Copies of this chain bind each other. A is one copy, B any other.
Amino acid sequence: MPRSDNRESAFWPERVTVDGKEVRTAFRVRYAETDQMGLAYYANYLVWFEVMRGDFMRALGVPYTELEAQGYYLPIIEAQVRYAAPARYDDAIEVVARIKKVGSRSVTFVYRVEREGKPLATGWTVHCPMGKNGKPRAFSRELLSRLRPLTDEG
């Protein structure tokens, strides 16, 4: 998996870096994402995890758009977040993710949200690949062979 370089093209706007089996992406907390407590609203962490997954798959060379073009969707069947410290407007946060495990019928991502190296939250999501017809659809061998090396066991 090549190290991503986000400096070459106006069309690679995000800052994504790959370090071994971890992918890291950075962005700022939006005003829209705050609530009247003055903190980032808790549901947005799931949005950030999804931004991360998009960046992850792109860094892996299998952009999620391509996955959908191949007829795969990755609906979530389970999601968990533990919130350790709040994120605030304009904070430059980083989300780090890796694939914990993958099989032909499910994939588990784990996430860490950081600000200046300090953990803000952790979480995971479990996805089951689905075809366009809404029915389960096993990952192809080719996809599995790309995803497996990224897991802890791979």
Interface residues in chain A, defined as those with a beta carbon under 8 Å from any beta carbon in chain B: 7, 10-15, 26-28, 30-32, 34-39, 41-44, 46-47, 50-51, 54, 58, 63-65, 73, 75-84, 86, 88-90, 92, 94, 116, 134
Chain B residues positioned under 8 Å from A79 (CB to CB) = 42, 80-81, 83
Kindly provide the distance from the CB of A12 to the nearest chain B CB, expressed in whole angstroms. Answer: 7
Determine if A30 and B11 form an interchain contact, defined as CB atoms under 8 angstroms apart.
no
In the complex, A88→B134 CA distance in Å?
Answer: 13
Chain B residues positioned under 8 Å from A116 (CB to CB) = 11
Chain B residues positioned under 8 Å from A43 (CB to CB) = 32, 43-44, 46-47, 50
Determine if A94 and B10 form an interchain contact, defined as CB atoms under 8 angstroms apart.
yes
One complex includes copies of this chain to the number of 4
Kindly provide the distance from the CB of A153 to the nearest chain B CB, expressed in whole angstroms. Answer: 25
Chain B residues positioned under 8 Å from A14 (CB to CB) = 13, 27-28
Q: Can you name 25 A-B residue pairings with CB atoms under 8 Å?
A: A10-B15, A10-B26, A10-B94, A12-B92, A13-B15, A13-B94, A27-B27, A30-B47, A31-B51, A31-B54, A32-B47, A35-B36, A36-B37, A36-B38, A36-B39, A39-B75, A43-B44, A46-B46, A58-B90, A64-B90, A77-B84, A78-B80, A78-B82, A79-B81, A79-B83
Contact of A46 among B42, B51, B82 (CB under 8 A): B42
Determine if B42 and A30 form an interchain contact, defined as CB atoms under 8 angstroms apart.
no
Contact of A35 among B12, B27, B35 (CB under 8 A): B35
Chain B residues positioned under 8 Å from A73 (CB to CB) = 37
